[in-house]
Structure 1
């Protein structure tokens, strides 16, 4: 069985993330969606909420092929613990490519050559989409419906209102 890992902060998960997850499932039999937590970063949503939002946003037909986990630490350590060598990364633009290539080479080095990275280019409609962009629109009371799952829209708007206070 081919297993891959798609890691991110998912703060919040966007339709772009969902698209990468769906497309990754055309490549792997099972996908671990890994919610990473950097203690030096400030998140809008607690890691528990981010895990819940990922689960809520995924279509039921995919849920039996997805595992959602959380991790603080080096991604290659998680990979080793799980016996998984395949990383899935989404690419939106050339700037993502440069960053992600460095990340892929570092993971390969740290894993003694075991970690492989597959890049999935963003679908045209999501090339410009990012979680930080969604947060920026939400904090300014803009319409985020095109960027996030309908079931998550109200949670994000509510959090934006809480943060403005």
Structure 2
């Protein structure tokens, strides 16, 4: 029997409740879900790749199914091929996400037509959440507990204390 493997890529800086929603739902679609923690040259991460991987591993530990957390720094389709994936799982929050994701899915299809992209709509209550905004709110001293798991909140707050708040 063939194992259906899906890849859910992202920077997860930090992992949010929106990410967790997509992971829980994505894990039900495949036999094995690989969460690919990556660097993104256009983003300035608050946490190192190792820290983000630890964060993700801890938060997904109680989710049913076979879930692996690995890092990658390559083309997504090369990573997906190495992992034996038949699908890429992507979360959509809003129409603005769709345009970018649609373009990426098209490019990925050109790179490797054997791997499908599957879009999952974020839960309505979680649609506004974005890691970038969570970090911005935290850096200005705002409360982020509605957007991230409790332990992640504590890590973000501790990091902000270490690097210094903005606007103070």
TM-score where L is the length of structure 2? 0.92
- How big is each residue's C-alpha offset from its partner over 1:16-38, in whole Å with a ceiling of 9 and x where there is no partner? 00000001112111100000113
* Cα shift at 1:80: 1.7
- Residue 30 of structure 2 corresponds to which residue in structure 1? 28
Q: Does 2:78 correspond to 1:80?
A: no
In structure 2, what is the Cα distance between the partners aligned to 1:67 and 1:28?
12
* Aligned-residue offset at 1:116: 0.5
1:85 CA displacement: 2.4
- Equivalent positions of 1:1-165 (< 5 A) are 1-39=3-41, 41-62=43-64, 65-111=66-112, 113-164=113-164
5+ residue gaps in structure 2? none
Structure 1 portions without partners, runs of 5+ = none
Q: Shift in Å at residue 56 of structure 1?
A: 1.5
Question: Does the CA-based 8 Å contact 2:5-2:84 persist in structure 1?
Answer: no
Distance 2:90 2:43 in 1: 20
Match of 2:40, SS? coil
Q: 1:104: Cα distance to partner?
A: 0.4
Please say if residues 4 and 32 of structure 1, whose CA atoms lie closer than 8 Å, have aligned partners that are also in contact.
yes
The total of aligned residue pairs comes to: 163
Shift of 1:58: 1.9
TM-score, normalised with respect to structure 1: 0.93
CA distance in 1, matches of 2:31, 2:13: 26
Instruction: Give the ranges of 4+ consecutive aligned residues of structure 1 lying more than 4 Å apart after TM superposition.
Output: none
Question: Would the aligned equivalents of 1:56 and 1:151 in 2 still touch at CA under 8 Å?
Answer: no
